[in-house]
Amino acid sequence: MGWLENVIIKNKELENERFEVTDKDSLYFLGPNLTLRNCTVVLKVSARRLHILGARFIDCTFEVKQELKNHQDWVRASLEGCRFKGRLTGCDFGHWPEYGSEPEYQHGFIENCDFTEARLDGCRIMGCDPTPLRFPKWPCFTILDPIRRAPELRGAKWPGLVGDVLVGDLHAHPAPTRALTYYAPTLVERLESTPEQLRAVIEKFDCIVY
């Protein structure tokens, strides 16, 4: 494997531009001191190729062309009024300063963002109010305030292994967890259920958005 090229965008305020983060032979660093406003960011690299270092995104659109898995750098970004499209799995957004010691973790934030054109699975909103966010509809579903509502959710009869594995482990998520989104078809495949059986229980709770 050859050397990777570093693509560094920092110390700038940019508006109405399009960024292609797509070269698999590059490492991308967005920040520090970077503000993007009304920009389109096209992502087609793995999580380990994308590093967000305290960047601020305002009214931007993220087009995720390749499934982005386990990307925790979003908690080092400030996201205001942004729209997400594409598949994101195991990603965390919001304010979670305890996640790392670097100063950019203090700046994580999310507000008024739109995920309705995204497919989220195992993604969390940390330390920020999820109410102003627009979450994807069914077959995705979002549990609001999952840790506090865990006892209530455990009281229901869930199909397959959903109760034991998903609901039973809600208390194990980090304390700042404010919302948790899953993709039902993938979830039920692992937990021996069906989307129809799962939805029948989900519909009983006002703390679940679907």
Q: Decide if 41 contacts 64 (C-beta within 8 A).
A: no
Q: What is the DSSP string of 12-76?
A: EEEES-EEEE--TTEEEEE-SSEEEES-EEEE-S-GGGEEE-S-EEES-EEEEEEEEES-GGGGG
Interval 15-74: pLDDT, tens: 999 999 999 999 999 999 999 999 999 999 999 999 999 999 999 999 999 999 999 999
What is the C-alpha to C-alpha distance for residues 60 and 137, in angstroms, rounded to an integer?
A: 21
pLDDT surpasses 80 at 149 = yes
Average pLDDT taken over every residue of the chain: 95
Mean pLDDT of 150-171: 92
Q: Where are the domains of the chain?
A: 1-130, 137-209
What is the C-alpha to C-alpha distance for residues 41 and 44, in angstroms, rounded to an integer?
A: 10
What is the C-alpha to C-alpha distance for residues 42 and 178, in angstroms, rounded to an integer?
A: 27
Interval 9-24: pLDDT, tens: 999 999 999 999 999 9
Q: What is the pLDDT of residue 1?
A: 44
Location of structure tokens 């594995």: 165
Interval 107-139: pLDDT, tens: 999 999 999 999 999 999 999 999 999 999 999
Measure CA 83 to chain center. 12
Q: What is the pLDDT of residue 177?
A: 98
Mean pLDDT of 172-185: 96
Q: Decide if 110 contacts 134 (C-beta within 8 A).
A: no
pLDDT surpasses 80 at 2 = no
pLDDT class of 95 with cuts at 50, 70, 90: very high
Residue 4 makes CB contacts below 8 A (sequence gap 6+) with 25, 26, 27, 49
Amino acid at site 129: D
pLDDT class of 165 with cuts at 50, 70, 90: confident
Residue 162 makes CB contacts below 8 A (sequence gap 6+) with 187, 188, 191, 193, 198, 201
